[in-house]
């Protein structure tokens, strides 16, 4: 089964690049620039990974990530955060985001593929396995 990835970034050129790169790696990709659409998309379909830019103009990506994890706990460890300024973010890193992988911009396509593969291959976090009876 092909993994389904949701990309959320306000930069159209980067979204197109991510879409192309991820599709070339064999993933099913949906991308949006408006974080409000994320709720509708996640309500309508299951996604194996959400790639989320931290700096969105409408709302901060870390706030959105926490909201997504609270509403969809199965996304724990399945939200890949993207930022060009990881040091400012790490200083105030919320506890809920500790399991989220961080992809630092700019990144190579090899780094992108490796990080996505690793995130998708990782087992579900302990709390999720317990909720699912595993």
Using CA atoms, how far apart are residues 98 and 90, in angstroms rounded to an integer?
A: 10
The yes-or-no verdict on residue 126 having pLDDT over 60 is: no
CATH number, position 43: 3.40.50.2300
- Write down the pTM of the prediction: 0.87
27 has pLDDT over 70: yes
* Span 26-46, average pLDDT: 96
Query: Per the structure, how many domains does the chain have?
Result: 1
- pLDDT of 61-94, one tens digit each? 889 999 999 999 999 999 999 988 776 666 677 7
**Helical pair 36-44 and 61-71, crossing angle rounded to 10 deg:** 30
Task: Quote the tokens at residue 17.
Answer: 């690049």
Domain housing 63: 4-131
């Amino acid at each position: 089964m092909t993994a389904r990835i949701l990309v959320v970034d306000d930069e159209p050129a980067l979204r197109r690049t991510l879409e192309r790169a991820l599709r070339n790696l064999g993933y099913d990709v949906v991308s949006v620039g408006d974080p409000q659409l994320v709720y509708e998309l996640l309500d309508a379909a299951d996604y194996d990974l959400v790639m989320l830019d931290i700096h969105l103009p409408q709302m901060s990506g870390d706030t959105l990530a926490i909201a997504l994890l609270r509403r969809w706990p199965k996304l724990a460890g399945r939200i890949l955060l993207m930022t060009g300024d990881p040091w400012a973010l790490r200083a105030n890193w919320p506890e809920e985001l500790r399991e989220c992988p961080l992809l630092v911009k700019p990144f190579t396509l090899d780094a992108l593929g490796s990080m996505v593969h690793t995130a998708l291959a990782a087992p579900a976090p302990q709390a999720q396995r317990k909720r699912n009876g595993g």
